[in-house]
Structure 1
Amino acid sequence: MKDLRAIEAIAFDLDGTLVDSAPDIRHALNAALEAAGLAHFDLDTVRAWIGDGPDALIAQALCRHEIDPDEAMHAQLRKTFDAYTLAAPLQSGGVFHGIAELVAGLARRLPMVVVTNKPTALARAVLRAAGLLPCLSGVHGADAADQRKPAPFLLLAAAQRLGVAPERLLMVGDAPPDLLAAQAAGCPAALVAWGYGGHAIAKALPPRAWRVETPQQLLLAALGSRGVRGVRSEATNH
């Protein structure tokens, strides 16, 4: 594990990094497809599509069905997807093993945010259901297509809000968009071994990136770091 003494804050990806939300994403997607009279997809298929946000997820499903949707159809599918997500954000999935301990252990030592391609409202609902929201200093979701990782927009916004330089903000994620966004923003990055997208990473990681095998490994490295900053939690940050 690399030296984290220069790290002043951590940005976590959400789906596949903090939470195993694939079963709930599959449920919401299939509910939307069923309402449109389309066939369902299995969990393994949906899990492989996760990472670019719901609009890209829906586009993947329609492509597999060989459908070129109009704007109204896509909007209706997205509306149904959002409704099912908000109604049961983490009913079948859950927090990955060791994540609750990681977040609790870091809460008084380093400010943490979530940087995700899931829209902010959906991300906050999942984090609230996971019990992680009160420990966070912010949730930065992709509420427009051009904000999505691998674009650096969300990471730079998070760094600015936290008052830290990008090179002192560690991006922790499970897939190529996380590493590419970090590279574009000038942030160091850690690739987690337990997520959905690690199989898509070649052996050679980008510069300033490294692998994390377990949440405990990251916790131990971060607890030994210097330069800790204090910020208000999401529970009191309005």
Structure 2
Amino acid sequence: MTLDLRLVRAVAFDLDGTLVDSAPDIQHALNEALKNEGLQYFDLDQVRGWIGDGPDMLIARALAHQGLNDAEDELRTRLRRWFDAATLAAPLAGGTVYPGIVDLVAGLHRLLPMVAVTNKPTPLARAVLDAAGVLPFLDGVHGADAPALRKPAPAMLLAASERLGVQPRQMLMVGDSEPDMRSAQAAGCPAMLVTWGYGHEKLGGWPDSQRVASPNTCCRRCARRAPAANRFATPRRPSCPLAEGPPSRSS
């Protein structure tokens, strides 16, 4: 199936693995929490494979990996508090914004309303987006502040489309993992799978027409149809600086 962007009037971005490579910061926050409770901690490659379902599931996987599937709720609560504190203290100290992302969101901001839709809780997500320099370009941040909201559930995408005043079929979901794509399907949103993140390898059957290999390509594809939905009276296309040369690394 070909991805049809003609109806798109807004864009929803995933955060971890889509806008930022936050795996080093997530590893740091998780290990700080585990160390504070005298538990085993983990290397970056291990933690990277656990990213995508929010901090509660991340902690559950870390506990399960050391035989603590039945850990008491009090321990899980303490670990989550340590994790949140470590994240807020250094939201993007070790991670980076993917090359070209700031150019992408700055360019599309001229044309389309954008939101972040993430399985991170909203306060943590806003802290990371602010540190990344992306927050000023967004019209909202929808985080999974309750388990029922987590992608692949459609609730956050439906709330985001309602907030922006568009139909779900008019909002493009851009993400790197199966929960992103399944959430889009459940909500009735078109979806674009980025291949620079963490989870796209698990979606080998996802159509090539719905994959995008760089922020530059994402910008170009969205910009081709954007004048019809321009938030300004006079249509303007995003500059997409990546189109004129190699990406500049943001940090």
| TM-score after normalising by structure 1 | 0.93
**Alpha-carbon distance between aligned partners in 2 of 1:3 and 1:154, rounded to the nearest angstrom:** 22
| Secondary structure of 2:47 counterpart | helix
For the 8 Å contact 1:2–1:210, the answer to whether it is kept is yes
Partner of 1:189: 191
Shift of 1:5: 2.5
**Alpha-carbon distance between aligned partners in 1 of 2:6 and 2:89, rounded to the nearest angstrom:** 41
For the 8 Å contact 2:178–2:199, the answer to whether it is kept is yes
**Alpha-carbon distance between aligned partners in 1 of 2:161 and 2:224, rounded to the nearest angstrom:** 22
Partner of 2:248: none
Letter in 2 for 1:194: W
Output aligned runs, 1:65-104, within 5 Å. Answer: 65-67=66-68, 68-104=70-106
Shift of 1:130: 0.3
**Unaligned 5+ residue runs, structure 2?**
233-251
For the 8 Å contact 2:110–2:230, the answer to whether it is kept is no
Letter in 1 for 2:19: L
Structure 1 position 179 matched with structure 2 position 181: yes
**Alpha-carbon distance between aligned partners in 2 of 1:97 and 1:37, rounded to the nearest angstrom:** 37
Partner of 1:17: 18
Shift of 1:39: 1.6
Partner of 1:200: 202
| Secondary structure of 2:94 counterpart | coil
Q: How many residues align?
A: 229
Letter in 1 for 2:183: A
Partner of 2:214: 214
**Alpha-carbon distance between aligned partners in 1 of 2:123 and 2:138, rounded to the nearest angstrom:** 15
Output aligned runs, 1:102-121, within 5 Å. Answer: 102-121=104-123
**Alpha-carbon distance between aligned partners in 1 of 2:98 and 2:206, rounded to the nearest angstrom:** 26
- Amino-acid identity (%): 59
**Unaligned 5+ residue runs, structure 1?**
232-238
Partner of 1:132: 134
Shift of 1:230: 2.9
For the 8 Å contact 1:110–1:228, the answer to whether it is kept is yes
| Secondary structure of 1:224 counterpart | helix
Shift of 1:221: 1.3
Shift of 1:205: 4.0
Shift of 1:174: 0.3
Partner of 1:55: 56
| Secondary structure of 2:124 counterpart | helix
For the 8 Å contact 1:182–1:189, the answer to whether it is kept is yes
| TM-score after normalising by structure 2 | 0.88
Letter in 2 for 1:222: C
